[in-house]
Amino acid sequence: MEDRRVSIASCSGMSPYGMVARASSADTVDEHKNVLSICITATSADRGGFRDLIKKYPIIAVNGCENACVDKMLQEKGVNVSKTINVMELLKKEDLRPNDVVRLDEEGERSVEAVQKRLKEFLDEYID
């Protein structure tokens, strides 16, 4: 039986877009048994368990902005991401503007839903 799992690594930046990245990633992991969460800060700090995990499954990077820190941190560890989402860019196209770094209001929740929709499109390529 083929192990069809995927990992999501999200932005941990302290901006409204980072908040949306974290919330949408966490919700997606909670909703799919074959989706794992990668802690990008533990990965960056070279924490043991993550060294193997980041090389085992395809990774979707959920970057908060154009700086693409998640992609860069993974590349520094010798891992290329399979798919990348730029939350800021996606939400601009959807005319959504989250406004808090630690709380989700109605606009923030709509923003999370938009990112989750994109994540689902990517996940459909990897898992059933």
pLDDT tens by residue, 49-102: 888 889 899 999 999 999 999 999 999 999 989 999 999 999 999 999 999 999
**What is the pTM for the complete model shown?**
0.94
Backbone Cα Rg of the chain: 14
Q: pLDDT, tens digit, for every residue of 14-62?
A: 999 999 999 999 999 999 999 999 999 999 998 888 888 898 999 999 9
Owning domain of residue 50: 6-123
Indicate whether 15 belongs to any domain. Answer: yes
Task: Give the mean pLDDT of the chain.
Answer: 94
Q: Give the DSSP letter of residue 68.
A: -
Rounded Cα distance between 4 and 105, Å, is 34
Residue 7 parent element (H or E): strand 6-10
Residue 12 lies in a domain: yes
Q: Reduced to 3 states, what is the DSSP secondary structure of residue 67?
A: coil
pLDDT for res 51: 82
Q: Does any domain span residue 128? A: no
Average pLDDT over residues 109-116: 98
User: Is 115 in contact with 123 (CB distance < 8 Å)?
Assistant: no
What is the number of residues in the chain?
Answer: 128
Count of domains forming the chain: 1
Q: Where are the alpha helices (DSSP H) in 7-82?
A: 16-31, 40-44, 48-56, 69-76
Do the domain assignments include residue 1?
no
Q: Which residue has the tokens 């005319």?
A: 95
pLDDT reported for residue 123 = 95
Give me the pLDDT at residue 1, please. Answer: 44
